[in-house]
Amino acid sequence: MQQGMDKDHHHIADAIPQGWVDTRAPRGWRPFLRLARYDRPIGFWLLAIPCWVGMALAHLDRPWTQNDFVLALAFWIGALAMRGAGCTYNDIVDRDLDAKVSRTALRPIASGAVSVKTAWAFLLLQCLVGLGVLIILPAAARLVALAAIPLILGYPYMKRITFWPQAWLGLTFNWGVLVGYVAIAGTITPALLLAYAGLFFWTLGYDTIYAHQDKEDDALIGIKSTARLFGRQTKLALTIIYAAALLLLAFAGVRETGIAPDQAALVGSWMPTLVFAFFLSEQITKTNFDDQASCLRAFRQNKIAGLVYVALLALSPTLLGWVLGTTGG
């Protein structure tokens, strides 16, 4: 009896200490909530934010409606379901590797708390929730969303064959910006592709920081990552990566507004991007890449950074109207 209790109370290193999963969720649910990463909710935000960025970008030249806010909520529910499904699938594929890495050894499948067969059933349940969200999207957005399936299925294998699994994650995790934009605008535009590229570099950066937590264990068992690839040059690499992200996002906003760059630079896209730059620069200058706690703090900061960016992007048409004198009386 005591052994089972101890196993339930083992704390996964990057989970929220004494969060609701460990303290208030029914005991029988806890392994499944951990499997879907409800004890590490930042991933839900990082999956939903690109969807909202896509919506905000599409609304730079059109007003928001009540249905848009319903759609934004649907994207949040979809992010909960699909991030949980993705993590479940990832843990099924990686169960043997997870058992060899200190930070992941206590994950439910690797530790034996959830069987592989049960995990597949749980994965199907989460996919059904995601399907419910998919059905309410416009037809074009549904097709774009379904096109992400090969990226999702391929992701767990990337760490075995390339030092750039973080790049694959960038392609996968930010697919929502395409879906969110197409759900509003009905088409793919050059501005959207610029935004997708910018968010790709953002994810490449923050997941490199995250991967530094495991670099020693990864080296021992042969798991590849950009953290291992960049090594002592990580600060320089992140400077280049985040600079690319910021420039691409800024020009995406300028391209979408279709107004003169000197006007758009005031608030149309440069202001949200400059604020975003403040958060990203802190991750480069203040992170000790040899300290797991420091890397985890920097990684988690991306939730706030992303939410602030998307909020400012959504508000930028109103702010731009004030600057140009087109809002109000």
Collapsing DSSP to helix, strand or coil, 182 comes out as helix
Cα 199 to the center of its chain, rounded Å: 9
Return the pLDDT at 267: 52
Burial class from Cβ neighbours inside 10 Å (0-12, 13-18, 19+) for residue 47 reads: buried
Tokens read off for 158: 């990337």
Q: According to the model, what pLDDT value does residue 329 have?
A: 36
Q: How do residues 209-243 score in pLDDT, each as one tens digit?
A: 999 998 988 888 889 999 999 999 999 999 999 99
Residues in the chain with pLDDT values less than 70: 1-18, 256-269, 319-329
What pLDDT digit, counting tens, does each position of 156-169 carry? 999 999 999 999 99
Predicted confidence at residue 197, as pLDDT, reads: 98
CA 103 to chain centre: 20
Class of domain 2-323: mainly alpha
* pLDDT given for residue 101 in this prediction: 79
Distance CA 329, CA 319 (A): 15
pLDDT at 102: 76
Predicted pLDDT at 289: 95
Domain extent listing, the chain:
2-323
Predicted pLDDT at 217:
84
pLDDT of residue 6: 38
Closest CA to 256 of 12, 28, 42, 61: 61
DSSP 214-276: GHHHHHHHT---HHHHHGGGHHHHHHHHHHHHHHHHHHHHHHHH-S-HHHHHHHTSHHHHHHH
Distance CA 317, CA 329 (A): 16
Q: 18: exposed, middle or buried (C-beta count within 10 Å: 0-12, 13-18, 19+)?
A: exposed
**Residues ≥6 apart with Cβ < 8 Å to 300:** 42
Give the global pTM: 0.88
